[in-house]
Amino acid sequence: MSPTAAGGRRGPVWIFDLDDTLHDATTRVFPHINRAMTAYVMQHLGVDRPEADRLRIGYWHRFGATLIGLVKLHQVDATHFLRQTHDFPDLPGLVQRTPALRQILRRLPGRKIVFSNSPIHYCEAVLDALGIADCFCFEDLFTIERTGLHPKPDPIGFRRLLKARRLDPRRCVMVEDNVANLHTAKRLRMRTVLVGHTVRKPRGVDLVVRSPRQLAKALRLHRPVAARGGC
């Protein structure tokens, strides 16, 4: 049994987004990724910077990720794109650590999984920089590759995760900074926690916390579900 399965068969299953949920990506990491994506689009589509930015943002809104637009409409190789845009040697120095994050995660009872729209090599590097890459924090890392290129909020990616880990969504608590992703989780009958600063709790969100440090509050969201079959 994984160390993170200590919550037992009836405990909660925490599904964590990575960027801007477990660490602040917006301030220092995302500007690097955005520049790399724009450069990639300019080079491979032969467009100038304003057009590359316009396409990139448009695909993000339309498909949930720049990558999907490039694959569907421009036959870009997904593996090449993900490697080129999420690979920078100074990443560990850019990742901003959330204080006491490891202790916070270890104290939460139940299984824990990371579910990210980013590629696996990047997620592993960020988790390593945060000091939470080992199995004592997370039992699995479900990344864009494993969704079959169906990034959040696409329900197909969520269902692939549920099937791969044999999860009952009623036991799952999705922790995210993106409300659209939480809406999909809610439609699949998960509990939902928004990480962020908002004065009003959005529809479909069960709890808002300002940082992972407040996650203990989310324990009250979990209602034990009678175990059936392999869930």
Q: Determine contact, residues 208/33, Cβ cutoff 8 Å.
A: no
- Nearer CB in complex with Mg ion: 16/81: 16
In the complex with Mg ion, the residue whose CB is nearer, 10 or 121, is 121
Q: At what angle do helices 66-74 and 78-85 cross, to 10 degrees?
A: 140
The strands making up 140-142's β-sheet, listed across from edge to edge, are: 140-142, 111-115, 13-16, 172-176, 191-195, 207-209
Which of residues 70 and 194 has its CB atom nearest to Mg ion in the complex?
A: 194
Q: What is the DSSP letter of 24?
A: B
Q: Least Å distance between CB 223 and Mg ion?
A: 26
Minimum Å distance from CB 45 to Mg ion?
Answer: 26
Q: Within its chain, how far is the Cα of 35 from the centroid? A: 21
Structural tokens at position 84: 């080129």
Beta strands 13-16; 191-195: pairing state: unpaired
- The tokens describing 141, both together, are 């890392």
CB 181 within 8 A of CB 161: no
Residues that bind Mg ion (CB under 5 A): 17, 19-20, 177
The smaller minimum CB distance to Mg ion, of residues 51 and 145, is found at 145
Min. distance of Cβ 21 from Mg ion in angstroms?
5
Tell me how far, at minimum, the Cβ of 33 lies from Mg ion, in Å.
12
User: Which is closer to Mg ion, CB of 25 or CB of 168?
Assistant: 25
**What is the smallest separation between the CB atom of 60 and Mg ion, expressed in angstroms?**
12
Using CA atoms, how far residue 130 sits from 63, 100, 106, in Å, is 29, 10, 14
Q: To the nearest whole angstrom, how small is the minimum distance from the Cβ of residue 49 to Mg ion?
A: 25
Amino acid in position 134: D
Query: For residues 16 and 59, which CB has a smaller minimum distance to Mg ion in the complex?
Result: 16
Give the separation between CA 11 and CA 110, rounded to whole angstroms.
Answer: 5
Given the complex with Mg ion, which of 19 and 168 has the nearer CB atom?
Answer: 19
8 A C-beta contact, residue 118 and residue 19: yes
At closest approach, how far in Å is the CB of 116 from Mg ion?
8
